[in-house]
Every structure is written in C-alpha cells, then in structure tokens.
Amino acid sequence: MMVLNTTKKKAQIEYPCSWLYKVIGEDQQQVRQAIVSIIEERRCIITPSNSSKSGKYHCFNVELVVQTEEVRNGLYHSLKSHPAIKVVL
C-alpha cells in the first residue's frame, strides 16, 4: 500500500507489495526474454501493453510482489541497464 503525502517527502511504501514496471523496447521477443532473465524465479505477470504508431516500440507491464525497497530498486536498475530495454517506468 502506498500512502501519498503533500509534504514533498518520499512516499511511504509498505513491503511486501505488488509492484508494476512498464518496460519498453524495440524487439518484443528480446524484451520479453530480458524481463524473464532478470526476474528469474520470481512469480510475475508479463502482459503486452501499447505499441508505438510506427510499431517500432513495444511496452510490457510486469507485475510482481517485491519484498523490500532494495529488491524493487535492484530490479528497476537491472531492467534499465539491459541492452534490449530502452525505458523502464
């Protein structure tokens, strides 16, 4: 559960929690393989999302339970640094 505040402080997230990453890349197969290799044995749901009008970029939603902030940030950085992945939100 995420509690929003208006004091410009960091959001308080209670762990473990369900987390959603939006992962964008050019080659659908390579992006999906990258996600699977980084997520490893964790249970997750990978669903195709939007594609750009030209069909060059494809987005996937990756939903899983993260146990700690360190795990959440580590997965984000691993996804972001993979060459098949252009953007992670």
* 27: region left, alpha or beta (phi > 0 left; psi from -120 to 50 alpha): beta
Instruction: Annotate 32-70 with DSSP letters as a single string.
Output: HHHHHHHHTTS-EEEEEEEE-TTS--EEEEEEEEESSHH
Q: What is the pTM of this model?
A: 0.85
pLDDT value, residue 10: 75
Task: List, for residues 47-72, the tens digit of each pLDDT value.
Answer: 999 999 999 999 999 999 999 999 99
Domain boundaries, the chain: 27-61+69-89
Helix (H, G, I), strand (E, B) or coil at 25: strand
